[in-house]
């Protein structure tokens, strides 16, 4: 990743002890998504700043379906082509890299764990 793409990301110093959600997934959401989907802005009526709200979603039902990236609104939208109206991030915003997309999909497909450490995962 280029320095610009890494902007805002927490540095992981000890990979064995790093937490999948708090150290990796949350960093992506906080640097790329919660600027629009927060308590006061709620774009698309969606707030994503707590775990419960991510699982709940708003208009279209849950945005994360644990274990099924292809059915999760979150991972569906980040995979749409950029010109599609529903593509996330909206045009003109710093977009996700393919590594970010793969990490989010991998997390959802692995049952979207909140508590696991990298060291405890069987990859
Ligand atoms: C620049 C503001 C902005 C950013 C940043 C942004 N979104 Fe959105 N998002 C919107 C708007 C506006 C809508 C409502 C319009 C629509 O449905 O496309 C929306 C709608 C959504 C919805 C549908 C909500 C529902 O209840 O069905 C999902 C899911 C979503 N965004 C996910 C994301 C994800 C994941 C990210 C980060 C990778 C992100 N968004 C970043 C503006 C943003």
Give per-residue pLDDT as tens, 11-28.
Answer: 778 877 888 888 889 889
Q: Is the CB of 44 under 6 A from ligand 1?
A: yes
Long-range contacts of 75-80 (CB under 8 A, 24+ apart): 75/101, 75/104, 75/105, 75/108, 78/104, 79/105
Give pLDDT tens digits for 30-79. Answer: 888 988 888 888 887 777 777 766 666 666 667 888 899 999 999 999 99
**Ligand 1, atom 39, residue with closest C-alpha:** 33
**14 CA to centre of ligand 1 in angstroms:** 32
pLDDT classification of 104: cutoffs 50, 70, 90: very high
Residue 63 CB-density burial (10 A; 0-12 exposed, 13-18 middle, 19+ buried): buried
From the list 76, 86, 103, 81, the residue with the least C-alpha distance to 5 is: 103
Pick the atom of ligand 1 nearest to 63's CA. 29
pLDDT classification of 5: cutoffs 50, 70, 90: low
Residue 122 predicted with pLDDT over 60 = no
Q: Is the CB of 104 under 6 A from ligand 1?
A: no
Q: Which residue has the tokens 């002890």?
A: 17
Contact 99, 93 (CB under 8 A): no
């Amino acid at each position: 990743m280029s320095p610009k793409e890494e902007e805002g990301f927490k540095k992981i110093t000890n990979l064995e002890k790093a937490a999948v959600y708090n150290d990796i997934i949350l960093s992506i959401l906080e640097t790329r998504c919660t600027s629009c989907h927060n308590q006061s802005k709620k774009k698309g009526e969606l707030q994503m700043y707590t775990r419960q709200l991510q699982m709940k979603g708003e208009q279209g039902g849950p945005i994360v379906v644990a274990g099924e990236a292809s059915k999760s609104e979150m991972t569906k939208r980040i995979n749409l082509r950029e010109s599609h109206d529903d593509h996330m991030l909206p045009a003109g915003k710093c977009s996700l890299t393919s590594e970010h997309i793969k990490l989010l999909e991998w997390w959802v497909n692995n049952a979207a764990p909140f508590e696991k450490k990298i060291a405890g995962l069987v990859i």
